[in-house]
Amino acid sequence: MEKERKFGFTSFTLHLLAMVCMLLDHLWGTIVPGNDWLTCIGRIAFPIYAFMIVEGYFHTSNLKRYVGRLLLFAVLSGIPFNLAMGSRLFYPIHQNVLWSFLISIGLIHWNEKVKQKGKMWLRILVGVTSVLIGFMAGLVTMVDFYHAGVLTVLVFYFFRHGKWWCYAGQLLCLNYINTELLGGYGYEFQIGEETIFFARQGFALLALIPIWLYDGKQGYHSKWLQFAYYGFYPLHLLILGLIKLL
């Protein structure tokens, strides 16, 4: 059994941090472009959410209800996401992040079902196949963060157990995902005669600090707060999308 971390962030504080960072990133992407510091901080949000999706899978008392809520808010977030990101009601070339999470949960559940059979060769085969399917599904469905988004969730699933090699695996995999798969834009620094390039997406690695300080506890929780976590996503996108259209 995974050992509980002794200090740090609760699920509640991780959610709050992710929500604030996501809002800053979406402000940059909609109504206040050009303020790069907003999106640099905003990069922290997605890895935290990806981590919490894995935690949610293992801690939910009703997986069908958990998936049902994600599906409901994925649908409800469709038009707000389209308005915010595409300035139109119909924007098929980019889907909201909740679909990324639903794909990821499906792959996690497949792996967990195979674990029950106890055959290591089958577990390895399904694990590798899940990565390939997640990669392709993220690209084909054009969900937020595309293939990299699904793979980020799988990284926190495969390297979940709090061992030193799990932390190393998270760091190495997220570094590759964010600086290679999602590299793109960044900043150049001159050190002596050397020009160093730092990918903007690399700021996402800072999310590992609060994630590694997660103490395994839920913290403050209530029914209204649970729906606030979900509702914040479509609500803030709707507001930003409408402001963007004005």
If you average pLDDT over residues 149-168, what whole number do you get? 95
How do strand 194-199 and strand 186-191 relate by DSSP bridges? Answer: antiparallel
Window from 41-50, 51-60, 83-92, 115-124 with minimum mean pLDDT: 115-124
- Report the C-alpha gap between 133 and 146 in whole angstroms: 12
**What are the residue boundaries of the structural domains of the chain, listed by start?**
11-245
Residue labelled with tokens 């790069």: 36
Supply the pLDDT for residue 167.
97
Largest interatomic CA distance in the chain: 58
What dihedral do alpha carbons 74, 219, 14, 214 form, nearest 10°?
Answer: -120
Residue 225, classed as helix, strand or coil, is helix
Looking at the DSSP bridge assignments, the partners of residue 198 are 187
pTM comes to: 0.93
Per-residue pLDDT tens over the stretch 32-76: 988 999 999 999 999 999 999 999 999 999 999 999 999 999 999
Whether residue 16 contacts residue 39, with contact meaning beta carbons closer than 8 Å, is answered with no
Q: How confident is the model at residue 2 (pLDDT cuts 50, 70, 90)?
A: very low
Tell which residue, 135, 136, 162, 173, has the closest CA to residue 6. Answer: 162
Residue 205 contacts by C-beta under 8 Å, 6 or more apart in sequence? 47, 171, 174, 175, 178
Looking at the DSSP bridge assignments, the partners of residue 188 are 197
**pLDDT over 70, % of the chain:** 97
Whether residue 210 contacts residue 48, with contact meaning beta carbons closer than 8 Å, is answered with yes
